[in-house]
Amino acid sequence: MKLTHIKEITGIIRLRSGLHIGAGKDSVEIGGLDQPIIKDPVTKAPYIPGSSLKGKLRSLLETSVFMKNQGTRQAVMNGNPCTCGKKDCPACVIFGAHAAPKACDPDLGPTRLLVRDAPLTPEFMKLFKDGRLPMEVKYENIIHRVNGTAENPRPLERVPAGACFTLNLALRIYEGDSDGLLDWVLKGLKLIQLDALGGGGSRGSGQVVFEDLKVDGQPVRLDAITAF
Ligand SMILES: [Zn+2]
């Protein structure tokens, strides 16, 4: 398969509410929060891992859009990613098949979308380094169903609302690829705006908006994209 073009999708991810992307148990510091966020090991600055962004893009596209007319319903209903491996399945083409290679169409080709880690924008990185971007600690409780009191408060670390990260995606176009691949990716971004990133989305965390979006340097607007 011949690579004909790499579309570069750039922009800003602006937080409209606090963002919690968990660091996992291994990185808990002694005396630290029990739900810390993921941070760059060198700069200690928060970032959005490409894997988080890619996973969210894929799951939203599969559940909200693809299942209407693609053969992904069974996998999606079971909570699993699509495993069809077919050349006409945008999920498997864009994000890579979750199927064994021999079950895939021979011309499926490599994963088309590279989702890079999203660091703080230079402006917010400067604030962070100057100590002017403190992380937020939010206490989440479980409400006792009978007496209505809040119990077991757990501190949740979040990047504060307003902070901005740098979005960078690369979409590899191979000879014979559908022109529609870019539209699926943009639909995915629109769906993330309607949903959330990271943990606690159903409780208000992780609301984001994509700003200054460009494809190969040309501005694109998500307003014009229909998510469903
Ligand atoms: Zn598929």
- The Å distance, Cα 215 to ligand 1 centre, comes to 25
Pairing mode of beta strands 47-48, 150-158: unpaired
Output the pTM of the full model. Answer: 0.91
Domain boundaries, the chain: 3-69+112-224
Question: Higher model confidence: residue 148 or residue 57?
Answer: 57
Determine the distance separating the centroid of ligand 1 and the alpha carbon of 18, expressed in angstroms: 33
Residue type, 38: I
pLDDT digits (tens, 9 = 90+) for 185-220: 999 999 999 999 999 999 999 999 999 999 999 999
DSSP-H helix ranges across 65-159: 67-69, 73-77, 90-95, 122-129
Q: Name residues with Cβ closer than 5 Å to ligand 1, which is an ion.
A: 82, 84, 89, 91-92
Q: How many A from CA of 98 to the centre of ligand 1?
A: 8
Question: Does 114 score more than 80 pLDDT?
Answer: yes
Reported as a single tens digit per residue, the pLDDT across 20-69 is: 999 876 655 555 667 889 999 999 999 999 999 999 999 999 887 776 66
pLDDT score for 74: 63
For 177-188, how does the pLDDT look when each residue is reduced to its tens digit (9 = 90+)? 998 999 999 999
Taking only the tens place, the pLDDT of each residue in 3-26 is 999 999 999 999 999 999 998 766
Distance 55 CA to ligand 1 centre (A): 15
Gap from CA of 70 to ligand 1 centroid (Å): 8
- What local confidence, expressed as pLDDT, does residue 81 receive? 82
Distance 137 CA to ligand 1 centre (A): 39
**196 Cα to the center of ligand 1, angstroms:** 23
Query: Cβ-count burial of 78 within 10 angstroms (0-12 exposed, 13-18 middle, 19+ buried)?
Result: exposed
Tell me: pLDDT of 120 over 90: yes
- Nearest CA-CA partner of 137 in 207, 34, 209, 26: 34
CA of 8 to the centre of ligand 1 (A): 24
Question: Would you place residue 72 in the very low, low, confident or very high pLDDT band (cuts 50, 70, 90)?
Answer: low
CA distance 85 to 96: 8
C-alpha of residue 75 to centroid of ligand 1, in Å = 9
Question: How far is ligand 1, taken at its centre, from the CA of residue 59, in Å?
Answer: 12
Question: What are the tokens at 115?
Answer: 């989702």
